[in-house]
Amino acid sequence: MRPWAGCLVALSSAAVASCSPVQSALSPEGDKAQNIAMLFWFFTAVCVAVWLIVMVLLAIALFRRRPTGATPMLSGDSDRERRVGTIVSGGIAATVAVLIVLTVASFLTNKGFAGAPDLALTIKISGHQWWWQAEYQAHDPSRRFDTANELHIPAGQQVRLQFESPDVIHSFWVPNLAGKQDLIPGRTTQLVLMAAKPGVYRGQCAEYCGAQHAHMAMFVVAEQPDRFARWFNAQINSARAPRTAELRNGETVFMTHACATCHTIGGTDAGGQVGPDLTHFGSRMTIAAGTLPNTLGNLEGWISDPQRAKPYTRMPSVALQGSDLLAVSQYLESLK
Ligand code: CUA
C-alpha cells in the first residue's frame, strides 16, 4: 500500500471510530474515559499547534530572499550569530516547556484514576485464552456468583474491577468507560470505572494473547440501579430446572457428555472449572466472548464445531447427533 493510501485508511478509520459510540475512546460515557478524551484532545491541539508553527517557520526559511553569494555561518557576523543562538535557545526552551506541560497533564489525568476506598460492588475478572471470567464478590457467600464475557453494572456508580490472569498477559479495555488495565499472571491489578448512563459498551482484550486475541471481547451493560438489582438477584439463583421433556433430555445430554466436566451449571451436578459458568447462559448476548450472537442456531453450530468459529479455542468438538445437539442447545438457551 502506498503511504498516502495508508494515511487515508487511518484517517477514515479514525473518522468511523469517532462516529461509533459502541466502542470508542472518543465517545466517553464515564468519568475516566472523559478525562482520557480531554487529555487526547489537549495533546492533539498542542501537537497541531507545534506542527503548524514548524511548517510556517520552514516556509519562511525556504522562501525568504537571501543576499546572493553569502556564506551565512562563516561570515564572522557576530550580530547574526547572536540572533541564531537566541532562536536555537528559544526553540529548546519551548520544546522543554511543551514536554513538561504534556507530562504534567498526563500525570494529573492518571492520578485521578487511583481507586476509591469503599465501593459497593467489586468484580474479580480473570482473563483466559480467550474469554473473560467475572466473579461478583460479596461478604455474604450466598450472594456471590460467577459469569462470563458480560458485566452488568449499575449506571452512575463507581465499580471496582480486580484483575488476575491464570495464563498470559491480557488487557481489559472498554474505551467508552475507562483506559486499559493489564491482567498479569501472578499479580492482582485493579481499575475503578463508572458508566454515567445506561447503555451497552463493548470492550476488547487490548494485549496480544494468542491466536484468538481478536475474539476476546466483552460487553459492559450499565443499567438503572433497580434493573441491575433484578439482574443481580436472578444471577444469584441456581439454574432454572428444565420444564419440558425435551429440555430434561437436553440436561441429560449435557451431564452425560464432556460438557459437564468443563462447565458449571449452578444447582446441577455440572461443576467443571475449565470453561465459562453456564448457569444463566441463556441471558447473555453473545457466545464465545463476543464472537457470535447468542441464538439457538449459532449455539448448535458452536457446540458441533467450535474450531470453525474460533480456531484454536480450548472448547473441544463434542460428537452429538442432531436431536441431542438441538436438545442440549435448547436446554442451554432456557437457562435465563
Ligand atoms: Cu486476551 Cu488479547
Site residues for ligand 1, CB cut-off 6 Å: 127, 130, 170, 205, 207-209, 213, 216
Grid cell for residue 191: 481499575
pLDDT of the residue at 118: 79
CA 46 to chain centre: 27
- 290: alpha, beta or left? (left if phi > 0; alpha if psi -120 to 50): left
Q: What is the pLDDT along the chain (336 residues), one digit of tens a residue?
A: 454 445 444 444 444 444 445 798 989 999 899 999 999 999 999 999 999 999 999 999 898 877 666 665 566 678 888 888 898 999 999 999 999 999 999 998 887 676 667 788 999 999 999 999 999 998 888 899 999 999 999 999 999 999 999 999 999 999 999 999 999 999 999 999 999 999 999 999 999 999 999 999 999 999 999 999 999 999 999 998 899 999 999 999 999 998 999 999 999 999 999 999 999 999 999 999 999 999 999 999 999 999 999 999 999 988 887 899 999 999 999 998
Q: Which atom of ligand 1 sits closest to the CA of residue 214?
A: 2
Secondary structure in 3-state letters for the chain: CCHHHHHHHHHHHHHHHHHCCCCCCCCCCCHHHHHHHHHHHHHHHHHHHHHHHHHHHHHHHHHCCCCCCCCHHHCCCHHHHHHHHHHHHHHHHHHHHHHHHHHHHHHHHHHCCCCCCCCCCEEEEEEECCEEEEEECCCCHHHCEEEECEEEEECCCCEEEEEECCCCCEEECCCCCCCCEEECCCCCEEEEECCCCCEEEEEECCCCCCCCHHHCEEEEEEECHHHHHHHHHHHHCCCCCCCCHHHHHHHHHHHHCCHHHHCECCCCCCECCCCCCCCCHHHCCEECCCCEECCHHHHHHHHHCHHHHCCCCCCCCCCCCHHHHHHHHHHHHCCC
Grid cell for residue 278: 453456564
Q: Which atom of ligand 1 sits closest to the CA of residue 183?
A: 1
Instruction: Output the furthest CA–CA distance in the chain (Å, rounded).
Output: 101
pLDDT of the residue at 75: 60
Q: Which atom of ligand 1 sits closest to the CA of residue 216?
A: 1
pLDDT of the residue at 18: 44
- 120 alpha carbon – ligand 1 mean position (Å): 28
Q: Which atom of ligand 1 sits closest to the CA of residue 213?
A: 2
Task: State the amino acid at position 47 in one-letter form.
Answer: C
- 262 alpha carbon – ligand 1 mean position (Å): 21
Instruction: Determine which residue's CA is closest to atom 1 belonging to ligand 1.
Output: 170
Grid cell for residue 76: 564572522
- 274 alpha carbon – ligand 1 mean position (Å): 17
Q: Which atom of ligand 1 sits closest to the CA of residue 127?
A: 1
- 229 alpha carbon – ligand 1 mean position (Å): 30
Residues 5, 123: Cα–Cα separation, whole Å: 44
Residues 198/153, Cβ–Cβ less than 8 Å:
no
Residues 204/217, Cβ–Cβ less than 8 Å:
yes
Q: Which atom of ligand 1 sits closest to the CA of residue 210?
A: 2
- 269 alpha carbon – ligand 1 mean position (Å): 31
How far CA 326 is from CA of 285, 294, 313, 321, in Å, comes to 19, 14, 22, 9
pTM: 0.83
**Residues near 205 by Cβ (< 8 Å), separated by ≥ 6?**
127, 130, 170, 171, 172, 173, 213, 216, 217
pLDDT of the residue at 249: 93
- 314 alpha carbon – ligand 1 mean position (Å): 14
pLDDT of the residue at 1: 44
- 43 alpha carbon – ligand 1 mean position (Å): 28
- 5 alpha carbon – ligand 1 mean position (Å): 29
pLDDT of the residue at 322: 84
Q: Which atom of ligand 1 sits closest to the CA of residue 170?
A: 1
pLDDT of the residue at 233: 93
- Give the number of other CB atoms < 10 A from CB of residue 274: 11
